Structure 1
Amino acid sequence: MTTREIHRAGRGPSESVPPAPPAWRALYRHFRPHRRAVALGGLLALIGTATGIAQPLAAKELVERLGREEPFTAILVTLTALVVIGTAIEAVGAYVLERTAESVVLAARRSLIGRLLWLRVPEMERNQPGDLMSRITSDTTLLRAVTTTSIVSAVVGGLGFLATIVMMGLMDPVLLCVTLGVIVVIGASFAAVMPKISRATTRSQEAVGEMSTRLERVFGAFRTVKASGAEAREAAVVDEAAVQAWRHGLTSAKWQSVAGSSVGLAIQVSFLAVLGAGGARVASGAISVATLVAFLLYLFYLIEPVGKLVEAATQYQVGAAAVARIEEAERMATEPQAPGPVPQGSGGDSGPASVAFEDVTFRYREGLPYVHHGVSFEVPSPGTTAFVGPSGAGKTTVFGLIERFHEVSGGRVLVDGRDVRDWPLDRLRASIGYVEQDAPVLAGTLRENLLFAAPEATEQQLREVLAQARLDTVVDRLPQGLDTVVGHRGSQLSGGERQRVAIARALLRRPRLLLLDEATSQLDAVNELALRDLVAEVAREMTVLVVAHRLSTVTLADRIVVMEAGRVRAMGTHAELVAGDPLYGELAATQLLATADRGGSPQEGP
């Protein structure tokens, strides 16, 4: 298998997604690592069941001794011991199963988290974050019972049911036939309920996922919601999703109640039938009163194994619905996972990186229009290259293709003359520092955000980058300095401060290639000028690509790539393009007018 084949695994629209396995096989995959602990819990439960089966025999002996006026103390002690020992053993078995169930959930969550964090960017964009979070939290919880308790319930309940039926048959086959006739009739209606439980549970989990999605949307734009006075409207939207989850949950609970009550109904009807038929057989002398008492005790004891079988069947339907959503998430296409951490700035070579596009075409997925139509350009190293053009020209997409967030539909993207698809993905990205358009800041401290891409950076390196990005004065005024919590999505920082944090984070990575996507959009004039100086400084040691709409950011670039409608229209310096390309001249003139209207300096013009 070639390097490219390895690193293209799970990457494109042509990738074939494996079919979903049957529910029982998927559940077995979660159960298998814990089968020994489940077997231990099952063995303890089986011992408890055996003590329960012995209790009616002891009761029969007690009744017979009472009838014969014989001593009964020993048998009474034996009966009591069976009850106490059986209860204690079942309690220990239940604890073992509950502990194992928590381990199953933990393993499933670890597996799912590890999978989802390596999702390909297009896969993530096709799914709602709230729904994916629901699969990790809510759906995995439903695995607790189905992979442990339900399996033991099915085995122990089945064996207990068979053992009880055998004992009842040895006592009186006629009464056994009466009992089974009633159970079969009611069991048929129970079987019809099972698919309804599965459907209702699936819809309930989907509704919970939808509710999580809507909540994530609200919390992600909390200030916008408040500024728009939209709290009531958004609360109503989330409430609607919560009501849908409630309705489907009620439906599932209704059918589970029907399934559970069918057990009690079957036993009660059986009791009446056995009592009538058994009374007649006692009167005819076919069986003794002690036999009838023992048979009735077995009949009531039958509630437990039958209940376990019903519980196992119900939990299987619930678990099957949850595991289907988990399996769907685990079949999503992922990027190849790195075998270990890659030192920052090490992409296999040293020095600034060169970039080239060769007749690149790209669209986000089948059926959508192309974003790039044969894009070609070369960016030598080092230096600064600016990408300009109208909105929708495909400038930001250039960065996404270099980072391999998306794969080209045609042509090649080269870094250091090597197709990015031939690069190990971890080493490719270790060579790149990327400042996104919205400059995301994560919840946590300022230090954690700065070290996010370079956790091994020294304190000295951190201080140097803070000074370069003009963040040192910001740190000095924060109450806890670098250890100040910046809030959800950096809410405690201004827009310009968040951009400077993103820039410092990228520089601390010591990249060979720096991608700046509208990195000055929220900076004031003073900090924008400082950033221009910083870019000019670092461009001597690395290759810098800039997507910019501000003319002041563009004029000092070593080369400018003008894009329009997904194509490269022209390349050159600022002076060359002003003189030779009408679109660039128009963009430059527009920027001049906008600058003049704001009271800007005319020296920034062409």
Structure 2
Amino acid sequence: MTPRTEAAGPAHEAGPRAQDGALPRDTDTARPGAPGASRRAGRRALLRALGSQRAALAVGTALNLLGGGLALLQPMAAKWLVDGLAEGRSTTWPLVLLGVLVLFGALVVGASYFVLERGAEAVLCSTRQRLTDRLLRLRVPEWERHEPGDLIARATSDTTLLRQIAVEGVVAAVTGTAVTLATLVLMSLLDLVLLAVTLLVIVLVGLAVGAVAPRIARAARRTQEAVGAMGSGLERVLGAFRTVKAAGTEQQESHRLHAVAERARRTGVSAAVWQSTAATASALAVQLSFLIVLGVGGARVASGAISVATLVAFLLYLFSLAPRVGQLAEAVGQFQLGVAAAARIDEVETMSTETVGPRLGTTGVPARVRTGPAAVAFDRVCFAYRDGHPAAHHQVSFTVPAGGTTAFVGPSGAGKTTVFSLIERFHDPDSGRVLVDGADVRHWHLPELRTTIGYVEQDSPVLAGTLRDNLVYGVPHPTETQLEEVVHRTRLDALVHRLPHGLDTPVGHRGGRLSGGERQRVAIARALLRRPRLLLLDEATSQLDAANEAALRDTVTEAARTTTVLVVAHRLSTVAAADRIVVMEEGRVRAVGTHPQLLAGDALYRQLAATQFLTREGRPPRAGPGR
């Protein structure tokens, strides 16, 4: 049995219900491991993400350190100036030095900021590119286990946090630590007693910040998950906008979204509480340090232990140390936010993606089958959409020779659409083989397999963009002549003439400006424009009127002369004209034959013809022996 890869991410509601009666995905996918393990994975993921721009971040950090070093020299220059004033010496050079330090330091800090921001934007861009590449290559079962809105949030809001961390978190922590240590060294040169007082307060702050850091991490993780849930809720509603309007459930859905937003607010407030606790502790430490140093330093000046200039320099260092301590406390919170975001991004990296496979002709698929209609065969295929659930296919076997039309019929849930999903390799069988041109589809180079196939889905999705964009979607270099021909064959001429800008008219989100029948014709036209060797039509004409359905049936019949057509349909007019018909029931192949053969020999087919199809005479066909 082929093992099925499970998701390695947080639980989400199942995706869309599997087609053709397949069972939906479980809603209890595996949650992340222990909090400690999740944080460690997040830290590793954060460092990997930042590593792509380590050169830019290193240069920016170096410039930041240089700016901090120049700032550290300013109190010494100020001490030199005060000493000169006290001793009556010239203050020209001390003033010049102080001015140069201030000006040059500002320029260095500005350059550092630019380099870091540019590096952070590069981190953001590369992470989003890598993430979107991964998302587009997810296996269909993996995609079905996650809400699209949450995946979108990971590629947008979570990656934005990485950019923030690159500048405000990691770099701030590095430069803040280095400058703080250098400041403490210079303060020790001025007076060890005042340094001891300062260190005592800093240690107390460090303990407080260390205590709240894990709480910041947990709150940040919950906040990001709440933001993902908000995106999922919006995607759910906007994806069925007309249904919401028709059902009059705007208020109900609004309350649902408000509840999600409120949950995001609460988790955000929780994170803010712990971050403000750390910030308050650091601010309090600065104030206490200043008051204590001022009192103790004043006493030491009075006793003659130190000079006024030394106390002034020490206080200046203390003032420069204060924002650094606050910066370190803030960096802890920012780092925890980045770790939470990186962990969610890293979960996408662990989701299973499609295996492309070898190129055509390298293993098992001979190059001679690249042209002409494709043959299809199922060899004892068993398949279940989810482990532990009833199988959608039980030992399904049939053969479709190259060329002609083969129709699949059967009750809802019989496994008809699953046939198409397995041919397209949206799913892989648990056992048995799906063969195209005699080779297992798992041995095909996946892009070449799908280039061979034209697939029209049940709901005939249309993408936002122009009508032209949708017709040529996935079609390399179509000519205007080919485009005009397929528009005529699928009876889209009237639509093109009616639209204000013809083929270049936007069709709206999910083709909302087109009717259901027009969307189906666009999907069929797109499939025909690909000139596939195998054409899969899943209820492709269900929303067409009789005239358009008859015209497209003729188009499909014409296409069947040069390609192999597999069609799932419930209209007798479509099924009866097929070269062969496969009758499916409860995931099994019940019978295979032509329309007259099945009318005479299969009771289920006769029942379907009498109830779901329209017979040519408008009445049930003559009964005959069946199974």
TM-score of the two chains, using structure 2 as the length reference: 0.90
| Cα distance in 2, alignment partners of residues 568 and 207 from structure 1 | 46
| Cα distance in 2, alignment partners of residues 426 and 305 from structure 1 | 54
3-state SS of paired residue (1:456): coil
Unaligned runs of 5+ in 2: 10-36, 361-366, 623-627
Is contact 1:348–1:427 with CA below 8 Å preserved after alignment?
no
CA RMSD of aligned residues (A): 2.3
Match of 2:335 among 316, 325, 335: 316
| Cα distance in 2, alignment partners of residues 35 and 486 from structure 1 | 44
3-state SS of paired residue (2:251): helix
CA deviations on 1:291-350 (whole Å, 9 max, x unpaired) are 122111111111133233223322210100000000001211111359999xxxx99521
3-state SS of paired residue (1:359): strand
Match of 1:177 among 193, 196, 203: 196
Aligned to 1:75: 94
| Cα distance in 2, alignment partners of residues 311 and 124 from structure 1 | 37
Unaligned runs of 5+ in 1: 1-7
For residues 408-557 of structure 1, what are the structure 2 equivalents within 5 Å? 408-557=429-578
| Cα distance in 2, alignment partners of residues 67 and 451 from structure 1 | 83
Which AA in structure 2 matches 1:301? S
Between stretches 83-92 and 205-214, larger displacement belongs to 83-92
Aligned to 1:3: none
Aligned to 1:352: 373
Which AA in structure 2 matches 1:500? R
CA deviations on 1:196-255 (whole Å, 9 max, x unpaired) are 111111111111111111111111111111111111111111111111112211221222
For residues 18-417 of structure 1, what are the structure 2 equivalents within 5 Å? 22-336=41-355, 348-417=369-438
| Cα distance in 2, alignment partners of residues 245 and 46 from structure 1 | 37
Shift of 1:12: 5.0
Is contact 2:8–2:347 with CA below 8 Å preserved after alignment?
no
Aligned to 1:13: 4
Is contact 2:357–2:442 with CA below 8 Å preserved after alignment?
no
CA deviations on 1:475-506 (whole Å, 9 max, x unpaired) are 12221111111111111111111101100100
| Cα distance in 1, alignment partners of residues 620 and 606 from structure 2 | 14
Which AA in structure 1 matches 2:179? G
CA deviations on 1:68-87 (whole Å, 9 max, x unpaired) are 23222331232233222212
Which AA in structure 2 matches 1:602? G
Is contact 2:43–2:343 with CA below 8 Å preserved after alignment?
no
| Cα distance in 2, alignment partners of residues 161 and 529 from structure 1 | 80
Is contact 1:446–1:485 with CA below 8 Å preserved after alignment?
yes
Is contact 1:353–1:543 with CA below 8 Å preserved after alignment?
yes
Shift of the 208–520 alpha-carbon distance from structure 1 to 2, 3 Å rule, reads same
Shift of the 505–429 alpha-carbon distance from structure 1 to 2, 3 Å rule, reads same
| Cα distance in 2, alignment partners of residues 374 and 546 from structure 1 | 21
| Cα distance in 2, alignment partners of residues 555 and 393 from structure 1 | 19
Shift of 1:443: 0.8
Shift of 1:55: 1.1
Shift of 1:444: 0.7
Which AA in structure 1 matches 2:589? V
Aligned to 1:5: none
CA deviations on 1:548-578 (whole Å, 9 max, x unpaired) are 1112211111111110000011111111111
Which AA in structure 1 matches 2:618? P
3-state SS of paired residue (1:85): helix
Is contact 1:28–1:147 with CA below 8 Å preserved after alignment?
no
Shift of the 302–144 alpha-carbon distance from structure 1 to 2, 3 Å rule, reads same
Shift of 1:144: 0.8
Shift of 1:16: 9.7
CA deviations on 1:258-280 (whole Å, 9 max, x unpaired) are 22222221111112222222222
Aligned to 1:602: 618
| Number of residue equivalences | 589
Between stretches 524-533 and 72-81, larger displacement belongs to 72-81
Is contact 1:12–1:407 with CA below 8 Å preserved after alignment?
no
